[in-house]
Structure 1
Amino acid sequence: MLAHRSAALAGALALALALTACGSSSDDADTAGGSGEKGGTRVFTADNGKVTIPARPERVVATGYAVPALIEGDAPLVGISSWQRGEPLLSDEDLATYKKLTKVAGESAAETNYEAIAEAEPDLIVLGVPTPVLGDIDMDRLKSIAPVVAVGPTVPSQWREVSRKHADAAGVLASHEADKAAYEAKAAELRKKYQGVLSGLEFGHIGAYGDTSKGTFQREFGGSWGTSVAQDVGAAYYGKVKKAGPGSQSVSEYPSVEELSDSLGEADAITYSVNPDGSVPESVKYAMESKLWKNLPAVKEGRTFPIAYTEAATYQDAMKTLDAIDTSFAPLLDR
């Protein structure tokens, strides 16, 4: 098994390197000034427009969603923001790297330490924050330090495209493509494994961001944090947000717990987010302890499935999510 996995990863890396060598590293990036030479530049299209960046960055600062993508890609990082939510998803080696890197920002964009970024002397700054959050950042001040590439998701499932752009900007696209190939191969294997038992089932999902103080739970639909990786395995999530809003509000909503039956009464099966150690978050437990929970058809049929690592933001992260889904769905094969 180990030899097979090593061979598969080697093949994926070789494919990624070949793809990278075949042309521009992204559909929206053009090279200029001799991209193959040290000191060359290229034009990169980001959320903040077209930015001239080093073709081969040597000192990179990363924040937000860019942090795991660039740590896992072995980018030349000299400073990062805090990324506590993703710590359980990092490998031991990557977690050690994360901990030793200088922190130049906190968990939110408003906690950006411009002096610390300047002291790191980056030649590229990659901001992994959604466009609406850019208003919390002094972009002119950052641009005076180094070229700034801002790329963030508008919906949770965009971690795929966003992480690719982060890797592309930082010059580690080959590593990203290898991770993508390995993930897609594993997802295809699981999709085939569970095709017979998932076909025809309509899923609902309870996310981890409900607010017990307000008496609400989080219902996630397709394309959200708790659902996007499971969809790659073949789980189909029905329904849509009643009143869609911007960003994640287009793929999740927050009904009151009294609306549990209305929200999930048509679900054949229910997945729900759990902590990395398998424990149930209070926000999810709140819904599951409701008297209405036990009367849901999916609960009566014993079709409720915990999913850990639902906050994956890279293909390496999502491999852990696939493992968690495989473990959770396995009992379906015994029915």
Structure 2
Amino acid sequence: MFRTANRFGALLLCFMLAGGLLAACGSNQQLSEETSEQPGSSSTASETPASGETSPLPAGERTITDELGHEITVPAEPKRVFAPYLEDSLLKLGVKPVVQWSNGPLGHEYLKEELKGVPKLDFSGGLPSPEVVMSYNPDLIILHTAAYAADGAYENYAKIAPTYVFKNASGDVEKSLETLGELLGKSAEADQALQAYQQKVKEAKEKLDQAVGGKKVAIIRFAAKGVSLMGGNYLCGYVVHKQLGIGSSKLVENENSANVSMEVLPELDADYIFIINAYGQGTQRMKEMTESSVWKSIPAVKQGHVYEVSDEYWLGSGLTAYEKIIDDTVKLLVG
């Protein structure tokens, strides 16, 4: 076609095409700049993907890799979150789950007012079936430990909704809260909660250093399956020993926990003892041990430095539980 046109006409047409292309380029550049500012978009969002390429995500959706290496697409604003045993952290972010974890009829009793109206789901017999989870119609599933994802559970749950798995969310509650904030679009709320908590830890530590600096605390958990001394790597042990800086017994200096029996009681080197009756199931064991002559011979017991604390939050995992543990510790040791 262009070969038959005269030279002048061809030249004129070229100038016209060049002008149009420049205008179009300017328009496309502006569109690209605007699109690139939207979450989840890319500079090629206005182009049609070639065969085999992945289409851009809808605005606000994000692709995130969980702690087990699963890549998931998180909704822009999750509305129905299934996250058993993470209720404490969810509430700190202003999020109510569609269902709450429970051990038999017992849930997180210290959160019962905040979780009023949220149905309980019993985990005492193991993980709920995919059909049960599906009945809550979640748009995001969050599993607090890798054990919850084992034996094909992850694959089944991932068919229901995007499923994020922590290796162990209870291992570092503060880091887990940050991650949840990112997942749920609540990073500002997570930052605010963490700053308030860290200030509380600082103030409590200063009081405790003055009152009981150099002293040791033993945290003994009485449960249906046995008696254990809690170490400083998780839950209340982490709060008391690592964050508040109170010394622990040599029996658990480098351990998560240690079994406690009548034989090892004389080795319990602690100035104060906190005892926990786990879910009310350790009553008999607690009675047997604390009424024994061996128990009564322990220096901390003779000095009246034994305190029973609430299993509701001393075995809890989340900043609200940790704040209550701090309050108890200061009240009992400082007054």
TM-score under structure 2 length normalisation:
0.71
SS at match of 2:150: helix
Amino acid paired to 2:65: T
Gap change, CA 1:294 and 1:76, over 3 Å in 2:
closer
Q: CA deviation at 1:152?
A: 4.6
* Separation in structure 1 between the aligned mates of residue 197 and residue 279 of structure 2, nearest angstrom: 19
**Structure 1 residues 162-181: Cα deviation after superposition (integer angstroms, max 9, x where no partner):** 34323432222322322222
* Separation in structure 2 between the aligned mates of residue 176 and residue 109 of structure 1, nearest angstrom: 32
For the pair 1:87 / 2:124, whether they are aligned, the reply is no
- Bigger Cα Rg: 2
Larger RCO (CA under 8 A, 6+ residues apart): 1
Equivalent residue, structure 2, for 1:219: 229
* Separation in structure 1 between the aligned mates of residue 223 and residue 76 of structure 2, nearest angstrom: 39
For the pair 1:127 / 2:143, whether they are aligned, the reply is yes
Gap change, CA 1:276 and 1:81, over 3 Å in 2:
closer
For the pair 1:52 / 2:66, whether they are aligned, the reply is no
SS at match of 2:250: coil
Gap change, CA 1:186 and 1:41, over 3 Å in 2:
same
Q: CA deviation at 1:80?
A: 4.3
Equivalent residue, structure 1, for 2:165: 150
For the pair 1:287 / 2:304, whether they are aligned, the reply is no
SS at match of 2:235: coil
* Separation in structure 1 between the aligned mates of residue 322 and residue 176 of structure 2, nearest angstrom: 14
* Separation in structure 1 between the aligned mates of residue 125 and residue 176 of structure 2, nearest angstrom: 17
Q: How does 1:66-215 map to 2 (within 5 A)?
A: 66-75=86-95, 77-82=97-102, 86-90=107-111, 92=113, 94-96=114-116, 100-103=117-120, 105-108=121-124, 110-128=126-144, 130-136=145-151, 138-153=153-168, 157-209=171-223, 211=225
Contact 1:79 1:117 in 2 (8 A): no
Amino acid paired to 1:187: V
* Separation in structure 1 between the aligned mates of residue 140 and residue 318 of structure 2, nearest angstrom: 21
Unpaired segments of 5 or more residues in structure 2?
Answer: 1-38, 43-56
For the pair 1:255 / 2:276, whether they are aligned, the reply is no
Gap change, CA 1:217 and 1:116, over 3 Å in 2:
closer
Gap change, CA 1:108 and 1:170, over 3 Å in 2:
farther
Which of 313, 317, 328 matches 1:313? Answer: 317
Q: How many pairs were matched up?
A: 279
Q: CA deviation at 1:251?
A: 0.7
Gap change, CA 1:241 and 1:107, over 3 Å in 2:
same
Q: CA deviation at 1:182?
A: 1.8
Contact 2:40 2:59 in 1 (8 A): no
Unpaired segments of 5 or more residues in structure 1?
Answer: 1-30, 245-249
Contact 1:217 1:256 in 2 (8 A): yes
SS at match of 1:204: strand
User: For the aligned residues, what is the CA RMSD?
Assistant: 3.3
Amino acid paired to 2:178: R
TM-score under structure 1 length normalisation:
0.71
Gap change, CA 1:330 and 1:283, over 3 Å in 2:
farther
Q: CA deviation at 1:47?
A: 2.9
Equivalent residue, structure 1, for 2:328: 324
Gap change, CA 1:210 and 1:276, over 3 Å in 2:
closer
SS at match of 1:65: coil
Amino acid paired to 1:144: K
* Separation in structure 2 between the aligned mates of residue 275 and residue 326 of structure 1, nearest angstrom: 22
Q: CA deviation at 1:276?
A: 9.8
* Separation in structure 2 between the aligned mates of residue 316 and residue 62 of structure 1, nearest angstrom: 19
Gap change, CA 1:168 and 1:218, over 3 Å in 2:
same
Amino acid paired to 1:325: T
Gap change, CA 1:170 and 1:85, over 3 Å in 2:
farther
